[in-house]
Every structure is written in C-alpha cells, then in structure tokens.
Amino acid sequence: MSKDSWNPQQYDKFKSERSQPFFDLIDLLRPVSQPTVIDLGCGTGELTMELNKLCGAQSTLGLDNSEEMLKKAEALCAPGLKFEKGDISEWKNPKAFDIVFSNAAIQWCPDHPGIFERIRDSLRPGGQLAVQMPMNHDYPTHTLAAEMSEESQWLKLLQGSSYKQHKRMMSADEYASLLYKLGFKEQKVYVNVYGHILESREGVIEWVKGTLLTFFKSRLSESDYQKFIKEFRERLFERLPDEKPLFYPFKRIFIWGRL
C-alpha cells in the first residue's frame, strides 16, 4: 500500500507557475448566480478559496485524499467553504452541483470515461464541468520515469507497480467526443503550452519532486527513493540541455462543458 507522499512545501515551490492554469480554467466558466461548487483534488485549499470567491458561490466543497494537504486546507474553512477527505476517482453526488471543478488532479485517476460520467451525473441541469490536467507525459521527465519504473531493479522495489499514469490520459479529441456522448451541449477542449523559465536543469528536478516523483516516494523506502533520485537526475541531465536559464515547456489540457 502506498503512503501519502504529498508535501505541500515541495509542491508550493512553484506556486505561481502552478496557479496560472487554475485562473485560466476559471475564465472558462460561465457566470452563475450563487452556484454550488465542488473542487475535486483541492490540495492545500488556497485555490479552492479563490474559486469560492470568484464564483460568488453559495457553497464550495474541497475534496482531496491527502491528509497532509487537508491539514493546510482545514485552516481556511469558513461559512460556505469546507473541505473533506475523499477519493475523487470514485466520487459521485447525483444532481448536487452547479459547477464541478478540478485543477491538476484527475490525471492521477484511472477510468477517465467513468469519472466524467459521474461528474455529469453530479451536475444539475445547465451545470458546468471545468477540468485541467497536466499533459506533459512525452517530456523527458515522464518518459524517463516510466522507463526506470519498468527496469528490474526498480520494478522489484516498487513491488511490481510501474509508473503508468500517462496511459490513463486520453487525447484532446477523445475527451471532446466523450463530452458529446455524455450530453454536454457546449464544450471547449484544448491543449495549452506554458513556458516556464527555470534557473537551470535542477529546477526541473525540484518541479517533478512535487508531482510526478511522488509516485516513487510513496512506494520506496527513503533510502531507495534517494538512490532513485540520484540515478534519475544523472539520466535526465543526459537528455536535457545544460542551459541557464532553462526554458521548460509544460503542456496542459483544458476541458469545459455545459449541460
């Protein structure tokens, strides 16, 4: 069983860069008077608080399965804003919400067709979904992580659990087709590339420690994880240019629909 490896401090090292897609996702929402809102994969809650405010929500619920993240989020609870522990891959609450929002979370879940169907079922008539997910699985960080997880020495330490998150993702046209089949009358689906300027290649390592590499941290002992990081860094730097600053292109998919 994997342990909770989410570290709010590590994740927040690139807080402004991670926040911009959230605000771009909010911009896709149509104005609704005092909507009921849920944020699937709310993390530390700061952005859920912004979502609640910017939507003028009657109520907003943040849902996450990381106790470490929720410890920070609980301090933000206020009238109309609360946080709960829950598994977003199985979540469903029929016709309970005007807006189902998820920023950089569903990519970790299996069965995307099933998740989007449950989101559809949880929306009221005229309700909206807004989902953003990283889609950088063809970048060297992700291809290397997938390769290493399949190598015998690491696969054994991972107890046979290789990194397959990228295989859960669908293509942009597949998500668009799915929304149509689920009955969404309007939709926008597109991929955006965010260009991040990092001081050096080391910044890429620090970035993925807060996301991608949590898969390995949650499944390896601390000593084995440190060995993994050392080998990962050495092999990644063979694939990335040694430039200062380093341009780090990061793709994200945006999915909006209205019933």
Domain contains 220: yes
Please report, for the domain that includes residue 106, its CATH number: 3.40.50.150
Q: Which residues sit opposite 248 in a β-bridge?
A: 196
Q: What is the pLDDT of residue 18?
A: 64
In a domain? residue 234: yes
149 within some domain: yes
Per-residue DSSP letters for 156-174? HHTTT----HHHHPPPHHH
Q: Can you say whether the dihedral through the CA atoms of 249, 190, 21, 117 is positive or negative? A: negative
Domain span at 188: 8-258
Q: Is residue 1 part of a domain?
A: no
Task: Please tell me the total count of domains within the chain.
Answer: 1
Share of the chain above pLDDT 70, in %: 93
The answer as to whether 156 is a domain residue is yes
Predicted TM-score (pTM) of the model is 0.87
Cα–Cα dist 112/33, whole Å = 29
If pLDDT is split at 50, 70 and 90, which confidence band does 69 have? confident
As a whole number, the mean pLDDT across the chain is 91
How many CA atoms, within 13 angstroms, populate the side-chain half-sphere of residue 107?
Answer: 21
Instruction: Kindly state whether residue 205 falls inside one of the protein's structural domains.
Output: yes
Asked if residue 2 belongs to a domain, the reply is: no
State pLDDT tens for residues 184-223: 999 999 999 999 899 999 999 998 988 889 999 999 999 9
What pLDDT score does 5 carry? 45
Q: How far apart are CA 220 and CA 218, in angstroms?
A: 6
- Which pLDDT value is given to residue 16? 62
Q: Has residue 196 been placed in a domain?
A: yes
Name the pLDDT band for 168 (thresholds 50, 70, 90). Answer: confident
